[in-house]
Copies of this chain bind each other. A is one copy, B any other.
């Protein structure tokens, strides 16, 4: 222990020189998902600095201990910076810390994952107009190589998302304010990569009692569909049973 003897907590804290200890070298990365053009997309940023300058990476950055009160604050700050909106759903996924993931040495990142509706998102670019983009995710992967261990992190995030979609109402956070059950079902199907029987799906969602009719109908193509919105439950619903899935 690098600090001198102390007999009371007060004494100890007084003797403790905070400046001797650098702020923790921790980053926060957020896997931001949306559903766009009939497929799952993730928000990626082009790195402006080494290491991995020019590579695409997840949205993240260092914790600013002078302004962020908590890790979640850091995630939210970065998220707002890049998307300009508050996310309706943010969950801590995992923390990865080891000696290899950063060429500069031991590093730690806490990973969050966020779900946001694709509608009306104004991407805020930093320097250029092309440094932040929605990228299609196929089979847990994106086309271009990612910085650090972000490809692994992305793949685990997608797995977690898929898994949770089997027993929760999470996809609702990917929907706009109001939506039809058919649209919601499509989003479930896109994430799961599998069609769902619509009778089962409607029964499941409707008996969970998390939605309410807006009173409006959506008139696209043929028969108009009833519009729903999330009741202000806020909390996601957990079903007691999984959708039967290609596990």
Contact = CB atoms under 8 A, between A and B. Distances in A.
Contacts of A95: 71, 92, 95, 110
B50 A70 contact: no
A6 interface: yes
Interface residues of A, number: 42
A51 interface: yes
B104 A18 contact: yes
A246 interface: no
B110 A65 contact: no
A241 interface: yes
A21 B21 CA distance: 10
A110 B9 CA distance: 25
B240 A13 contact: no
Contact of A242 (B16, B105, B240): B240
A236 interface: no
Contacts of A107: 24
22 contacts: A1-B49, A6-B50, A9-B50, A9-B103, A12-B53, A18-B104, A21-B104, A23-B25, A23-B106, A24-B24, A24-B107, A24-B108, A26-B26, A63-B97, A65-B106, A71-B95, A71-B97, A71-B98, A71-B108, A92-B95, A95-B110, A241-B241
Interface of A: 1, 6, 9, 12-13, 16, 18, 21-26, 49-53, 63, 65, 69-71, 92, 94-100, 103-108, 110, 240-242, 244
